[in-house]
Structure 1
Amino acid sequence: MTEKHIDELSGVETTGHEWDGIRELNNPMPRWWLLTFYATIIWTIGYTIAYPAWPLISSATKGVLGWSSRAQLSETMGQVADSQAAIKTAIAEKSLEDIVKDDSLYRFARAAGEAAFKVNCVQCHGTGAQGFPGYPNLNDDDWLWGGTIQDIYQTISHGIRYNSDPDTRVSEMPAFGEMLTGQEIRSIAAYVKSLSGEPSNPALAEAGKQLFVDNCASCHGEDGRGDQTVGAPNLVDAIWLYGATEADIAAQIRKPKHGVMPAWHARLGDVTVKELAVYVYSLGGAEQIQ
């Protein structure tokens, strides 16, 4: 039998563990620590009896108290919905203009719209509604289909080129690559670039002016300021959806990209769409209600 080692200085038995000449003393755990440890074991057993704890094949033990975090959340959300019922009803019944003019309704609708925007819209328009290439910036005053709050509501409700909604907004720019030569397309791109006062090839731009009138003015206007009734963008304001270089503009003329925005009315309901419209309106670029 191995003789137990006793530390000479403290007189305490060691555990037998040694490292670099240092031996570990076999001191007992403090009584307060042991009592606390035993108390946590007793508390744990009581908790698993009282509350849901042990996983089963398709559920978990219910606990004798019958408490459920899911049920508690459902109850809390029900209370929130009840507290908001009156103001939600007011939003449903009032026009968008009346909502904006009513300070309490406007503040509520804007906050609710911002929350709905973060869930449904940031994937394309960004967390700050700043947009990305191909997805419009909602903060500026450049609107393809009109910037009134009713226009915004219409666009959110029925979407853009969303085939499942019969009231969706539709505009199709022809693929001029099938109608014009490459040189003609480059000339139009140079002219379009010059409309916003940005540098372009003067000779090409001059050649593209008449080509623009012949092929593009019917939608964009002879002055290039666009037409919101057909979703034709303003080409004078230097705000570009698919790129600002002459090559980008030429690519869009040659084979245009046609983005699709979902129709949200059927998915979210009229109240939430109104709240989204109010939020987008509040960003500052919309046409203000007089």
Structure 2
Amino acid sequence: MADENPFPGENNTGHFWDDNIRELRNPPPRWWMIAFWLSIAWWVLYGLLYPMWPTPPWKLEQTEQQHTRGMLGWTSIQEYKQGMEQVEQVRGQYEERIAQLSADEILADPGLLQYTIASSKVVFGDYCAACHGSGGQGNPGYPVLADNDWLWGGSLGKITETITGGRKGNMIGHQNILSEQEVDTLAQFAVDLSEGREASDEAWTLFNNKGCSGCHGPDATGVLGTLPTGDVITVGAANLTDRLWRFRPGGFESAKHTILYGVNQSGVEQTRDAVMPKFGGAGSAEGRLDENQIKKLAVYVHELGGGL
């Protein structure tokens, strides 16, 4: 900064840097000053029209109102409620049709199906995603819904039944029933089938003689029979012939663990846990979804995995 002003009469402050950089006293442009004062006027006007001014501290004990209401009486909650009323008016026509139709009829209506899937994402996120993942990919320890492999059947009727009443798998632990060699044989049997290899005759004999086929089916697909409606008869036993594993990571050691300690066995410390709560049932403490929500959710889950 120079001690003497080398630019006299320039209306500068007398502060200089690098010989010629200086600070001037010129007033802001008129347009800028007009905008400045208008912004202040707008701020005052806004404070009069909308909720803004806080209640004076000495009056807080005398009133629950924490701010002025504004001359327009507008509130964000009021705007939200009005918006929800408009949304419900649009939804209403679809919800009425859903209440009158079956899940199969909804599936056959492209427009209604699109609405059902879109509106069910929130319900799925609230009640299902914590276990099955946001896209049905299945979190660790829980079934995948985004494939076409179903433990209890993938028809709309079976999915509705599952959501409404819940499911609880059951498989006894065989640690005191089978020898170590038999456990290894059956575990390898499951691995061979899952990888598309032929299992040995010895393994098939053991599979049938030890009662495994009673739950997993005579062909180890988990299906005990098929009804004329197309629904399968199953007790929730896994399909051993595909590459999907109910309890990950899968493979030989995982299969051994399940064979030894079973599924949902009381008093068995290392048993697998596989319980899905019920989401339907009027008057039930567990019932959390109404009939329409269950119907829509069944359609949504059905379409995640392509259905049957």
Q: TM-score, normalised by structure 2?
A: 0.77
Cα distance in 2, alignment partners of residues 280 and 242 from structure 1: 20
- For 2:276, which of 251, 261, 265 is the aligned residue? 261
Cα distance in 1, alignment partners of residues 103 and 259 from structure 2: 37
Structure 1 residue 235 corresponds to structure 2 residue 240: yes
Residue 207 of structure 1 deviates from its aligned partner by 5.5
Structure 1 residue 252 corresponds to structure 2 residue 267: no
Residue 11 of structure 1 deviates from its aligned partner by 1.4
Cα distance in 2, alignment partners of residues 77 and 179 from structure 1: 60
Count the aligned residue pairs: 272
- Counterpart position of 2:129: 122
SS in 2 for 1:267: coil
SS in 1 for 2:23: strand
Amino acid in the other structure paired with 2:185: S
**Which consecutive unaligned segments of at least 5 residues does structure 2 have?**
224-232, 264-271, 281-286
Counterparts of 1:63-212 in structure 2, within 5 Å, are 63-160=70-167, 170-198=168-196, 208-212=203-207
- Counterpart position of 1:52: 51
Cα distance in 1, alignment partners of residues 14 and 217 from structure 2: 93
Higher helix share: 1
- Counterpart position of 1:33: 32
Amino acid in the other structure paired with 2:274: G
- For 1:271, which of 279, 285, 292 is the aligned residue? 292
- Structure 1 vs Structure 2: percent identity of aligned residues? 37
Cα distance in 1, alignment partners of residues 9 and 181 from structure 2: 98
Cα distance in 2, alignment partners of residues 15 and 262 from structure 1: 80
Residue 240 of structure 1 deviates from its aligned partner by 0.9
Residue 40 of structure 1 deviates from its aligned partner by 0.8
Paired residues of 1:224 and 1:234 also in contact (CA < 8 A): yes
Paired residues of 2:196 and 2:241 also in contact (CA < 8 A): no
Cα distance in 2, alignment partners of residues 113 and 247 from structure 1: 38
Encode CA deviations 1:190-214: one digit per residue, 9 max, x unaligned: 11111234569x8xx6664444320
Cα distance in 1, alignment partners of residues 4 and 197 from structure 2: 91
SS in 2 for 1:248: helix
SS in 2 for 1:223: coil
Closer/same/farther in 2, CA of residues 83 and 281 from structure 1, 3 Å limit: same
Cα distance in 2, alignment partners of residues 222 and 99 from structure 1: 35
Closer/same/farther in 2, CA of residues 60 and 174 from structure 1, 3 Å limit: farther
Cα distance in 2, alignment partners of residues 131 and 68 from structure 1: 42
Closer/same/farther in 2, CA of residues 14 and 258 from structure 1, 3 Å limit: same
Cα distance in 1, alignment partners of residues 275 and 53 from structure 2: 48
Paired residues of 1:7 and 1:25 also in contact (CA < 8 A): no
RMSD, aligned CA: 2.8
Residue 159 of structure 1 deviates from its aligned partner by 2.4
**Which consecutive unaligned segments of at least 5 residues does structure 1 have?**
161-169
Paired residues of 1:191 and 1:206 also in contact (CA < 8 A): no
